Amino acid sequence: MEAWDTQLRKGGLELAVLLLLSRHRMYGLELIGNLTDAGFSVSEGTIYPLLSRLSGQGAIAAEWVTGESGHPRKYYRLTGAGMEQTSRMVGQWTEFAAALGRLVHPTRFAPGKEAQA
Amino acid sequence: MMQPESQAILRDFNRRLRAALREAPNHVRVEAALEVESHVLDVLSRSGSDEPEPDVVARVLSGFGSPEQYARAILSQRPGPEAVTVRSGLREVGLAVSDLLRGAWRLLWALAGRGAALLVLAACFVWRIGRGAVTASAGPARRIGRWLRINGAALAYGLRRLSRRLAAGAGATLRAVGRGALGAAVVARYAVRATTALIGWSGRLLRWALKAAGVAALALLAAASLGVAGFSVLAPDVTGWFVRGAQLSVAQWVEEVRHNTLGWMYFGTPEELAQSAAVVFGVTLALGLLLVGLLAYIGWNARRRRGATAGH
């Protein structure tokens, strides 16, 4: 059960990161804060390797910026390929959630009701 | 600014992380370590702790797990080995050349720093030899020359003690100057003997040439020292990098090149760079003023001697 929960969160985390970065560029700590606010409990040991993988895949791009913080800070932003991947993943997620929803609440998604709706 | 204990904890974490990532390409190791450091600084600056306790830094780092766990997480997210292509080969060669050039540049600066210190001392002794070696009329200078011949060993001993004190206080750069002074004192002792034997009354011309060269070298070094002092105020970051580069031993330098593509970012925090620049400023300003004082003394002495000669 725990393993299923972990896998579900892990799978959703990638989409959550891409969705957050589609708003504007963010650095690691900022991203963790936003994810925590959204209800994801995520540690540094999880988020940075994930960002590294997404960066390697070309979905996001990273750059070091030395700004007002006084020390170099790595900002991540979504690339064109990342935008396409995000919209594809959002479509798949919507479809998946709807399919699962039909099984979790069969009465709500009964063929007759769906037709009436 | 982080306390030394906190810095040590962070440094140790990154050292273990780089070691655990030894299978990964160089840029992955560097990026991972930099990212950890940047994250810790972000958390600390957000919490407003100017001088965080070591346990605070350890708590922030615990979010990554142990360095070995974090390294495994990074490696598990990486794709398999890249296919070796001409392009990937050229990229590796390019990175290696870039590392090599950066390292050579640092080494050059380190050598230039030590060489400049030796040059200053050599110029001082050449001037003294030129003054004191031959002429009967140059009383004080001759006495200095004789004293140097007789007391060379004592002078070497004194300089050795002085160099030890300086080394204890001012680190590797000043240690190099101390060693240079010791070596120059020994060399000067033999040089005085040799020059005295070689130069007779006909050495007047040589004496003047040596004096002029010594004064010119001193003036040049004084101007350069004051210039460097000024530069360390105008560009403390750059000066700090050079100093920290010069402080690296060859072994550290090799290690730096091996592990660090973005080398300069590891040279230290802005505070550390500023401290290095402040040391350069202090040392070079003192050296510059010393040389200017020496030049003034030379001028004053020459005028006095001219006056004494005219009086006769």
Tell me whether residues A48 and B265 touch, CB distance under 8 A.
Answer: no
Q: CB distance from B272 to chain A under 8 Å?
A: no
- Across the range B201-206, mean pLDDT stands at 62
* Total tally of structural domains belonging to chain A: 1
Q: Which residues of B touch A27 (CB under 8 A)?
A: 38, 42
CA distances from B259 to A54, B6, B26, B262 (A): 24, 22, 6, 9
Task: Indicate the range of A3-12, B167-176, B188-197 predicted with least confidence.
Answer: B167-176
Res B305: pLDDT: 77
Task: Indicate the range of A105-114, B24-33, B277-286, B287-296 predicted with least confidence.
Answer: A105-114
Nearest to B63 among A45, A49, A72 (CB): A45
More confident position, B57 or B201: B57
Res B174: pLDDT: 54
More confident position, A81 or B151: A81
Q: Which residue has the tokens 């290095």?
A: B276
For B67-122, the pLDDT digits (tens) are 999 998 888 877 655 555 666 666 666 766 666 677 667 667 766 766 676 677 66
More confident position, A69 or A114: A69
Chosen from A32, A48, A63 to mutate, greatest number of chain B CBs within 10 A = A48
- Across the range B202-206, mean pLDDT stands at 64
Tell me: pLDDT of B166 over 60: no
Q: Which residues of B touch A47 (CB under 8 A)?
A: none
pLDDT band at A61 (very low <50, low <70, confident <90, very high): very high
Tell me: pLDDT of B176 over 60: no
Tell me whether residues B39 and A50 touch, CB distance under 8 A.
Answer: no
Res B134: pLDDT: 44
Res A31: pLDDT: 94
Among candidate residues B255, B248, B214, B293, the one with its CA nearest the CA of residue B113: B248
Which residues form the domain of A51? 2-116
Angstroms from A35 CA to nearest CA on chain B: 15
Tell me whether residues B77 and A70 touch, CB distance under 8 A.
Answer: no
Tell me whether residues B38 and A73 touch, CB distance under 8 A.
Answer: yes
Res B163: pLDDT: 60
Res A89: pLDDT: 94
CA distances from B184 to B111, B126, B213, B222 (A): 17, 10, 18, 19
pLDDT band at B135 (very low <50, low <70, confident <90, very high): very low
Chosen from A6, A17, A29, A34 to mutate, greatest number of chain B CBs within 10 A = A29
Tell me whether residues A52 and B79 touch, CB distance under 8 A.
Answer: no
Res B264: pLDDT: 45
Are B40 and B10 in contact by the 8 Å Cβ rule? The answer is yes
For B242-259, the pLDDT digits (tens) are 766 666 666 665 655 555
Tell me: pLDDT of B216 over 50: yes
For A95-116, the pLDDT digits (tens) are 998 998 888 887 766 655 554 4
For residue A102, the domain's CATH number is: 1.10.10.10
* Long-range interactions of B264-268: CB distance < 8 A, separation 24+: B264/B102, B265/A72, B265/B34, B267/B240, B267/B241, B268/B240, B268/B244
Across A19-28, B211-220, B227-236, which has the greatest mean pLDDT?
A19-28
Tell me whether residues A28 and B39 touch, CB distance under 8 A.
Answer: yes
Q: What is the DSSP string of B140-179?
A: HHHHHHHHHHHSHHHHHHHHHHHHHHHHHHHHHHHHHHHH
Across A83-87, B137-141, B164-168, which has the greatest mean pLDDT?
A83-87
Across A79-83, B218-222, B305-309, which has the greatest mean pLDDT?
A79-83
pLDDT band at B4 (very low <50, low <70, confident <90, very high): confident
